[in-house]
Amino acid sequence: MIRLCTDAPDFEPAFLALLAQARETTEQVDDAVAAIIAEVRAGGDAALCDLTQRFDHMTVTPDRLRIGVDEIEAAVAVVPAELHAALDLAATRIETFHRAQLPADLRMTDAEGLTMGMRWTPLDSVGIYVPGGKAAYPSSVLMNAIPARAAGVGRIAMCVPTPGGALNPLVLAAAHRAGVSEIYRVGGAQAIAALAWGTDSIAPVDRIVGPGNAYVAEAKRQVFGRVGIDSIAGPSEVVVIADAAQDPRRVAIDLLAQAEHDEAAQAILITDDVRFAAAVAEAVAVELPSLPRCVIAGASWERHGAIIVVRDWDEAAALTDRLAPEHLEIMTADPAALFARVRHAGAAFLGASCPEALGDYVAGPNHVLPTGRTARFASGLSVFDFLKRTTWMRGDAAALRRIGPAAQALAVAEGLQAHARSIAVRLGNG
C-alpha cells in the first residue's frame, strides 16, 4: 500500500507513478479472440457448441443453446422469497431512476423560417453479457437490462456462461424480473461474436453491453463498428475522501469493499489528517483477515491501494480530478460543497451514510461506470446508451432563399458542384 503526502518534496513523481500503474491484464489475447470470432462466423452454432465444450466443459447441441422457459421458471422457484424481494426493490428503483432520464424530442423554428428538430428512438435490439466465471452478478443483469427496457428496446438477448452446465438461479431470477426471456448458455468471446454476427440460433443485435474477462473485453473491441458497445471495462476503483471526524472502520470497510472485487482493483483514501490516515490503515489490517475474499482484497490493497494526505480540500478535489475514479465517496462535514469542486468521477456518494455498495445494488443510478480514468470523458450506463438521435429539418422556398445562397457559396468553395447546383436549381439560378 502506497502512502503519499502532498507536502513531501517527491510527491509529484510518486503520484504520477500511482497514476501510471498497469492494473489491466498483461495477457495478450487479441490473436486468440480474433480466431474465436472467425470460428463463430464460419461455423455458427456448431462452432458455439464446440467452443462451449472446449472452454466451459459442457456438451451442448444447437437446440439447447437457448435456456428454456421451464429452466428459467425452475430457477426462479428456488430463489428464497427475501432475495426476490431484494431484486424487486432494486429493479423498481433502477427503473424509476432511468425512466426519469428519458429525453424529450426537440423542435424549433428560427427567424429564417427553417424548422428543425431532433428525435429520439430506441435501438431495435441489444445483447447483454453476464459473467459466469469467478462470480455471478444478478445486479449487473438489472443494471444492463432495465435501462434498455426503459428506453424502449424491443429485443434484449442475454448470454451467460454456465461452466459445467450449472445455471445460477439468482441470475435467471434477475433476468426474469427485468423482463428478459431470450437467454443463451454461451460465454466468452464466442458469445460476443454470436451477438455481433449472428448464428442460426442467435440473431445479431445492434449493441452489446455488460462486463467480462479479458477475452470478452477484447472481443467487444474487435466487433465494435459492426455493433455498438458500452465500453471496454477495466478493474474497479474507488476514491474515498474523508475527514478526521469519520469512523476509521467504516472507511476501511469501504476501501476493502472495492478491493475484494479483483486483485487489480484499486482503493484510495484521501484525507487531511495524518493520524486518521494511520487509523484507517490499521483498521484495514484488522478487517481484512475476516473477509471470505481476503486473499483477493489483500492483494489489491497491497499492490494498488494508496493513502494520500493533503493539506486542504482544494488539493483533494484536484487530485480526484487527476484520478478520475469510477467511484467517489465523500465523507466530510460538507460533502456537497466538496463534490461541487470535482469534475471527473463516474458516480459520487455523498455523506457518511451513503456507501458505494448502496449504489451497486439498490440506490437507482447505474453501477456500470467508466474505469481507468476514463471518467475524464465518459459516463456511466444510462438510457442514452440505448437511444439514438435523428435530426430533421423542414423549410419552404422563402427559407431557402434566405439561407441557400450561403450554402451554395460554401459548396462552390469546396469544389462540390453538384451540392451547389442542387441549391441553385431551386433558387432559379442553376
Residues designated as active site: 326-327
* 155 in Cβ contact with 182 (< 8 Å): yes
Q: Could you tell me which of 10, 23, 13, 12 has the C-alpha nearest to residue 304?
A: 23
Coil, strand, or helix at residue 239?
A: strand
Cell of 144: 444492463
* 241 in Cβ contact with 316 (< 8 Å): yes
Q: CA-to-CA distance for 17 and 162, rounded, in angstroms? A: 39
Q: Could you tell me which of 208, 207, 211, 190 has the C-alpha nearest to residue 199?
A: 190
For the chain, the distance separating the N- and C-terminal CA atoms, rounded to the nearest angstrom, is 73
CB burial string 337-368: b at 16+ within 10 A, e below: ebbeebebbbbbbbebebbbbebbbbbebbbb
Q: Could you tell me which of 266, 377, 301, 378 has the C-alpha nearest to residue 23?
A: 266
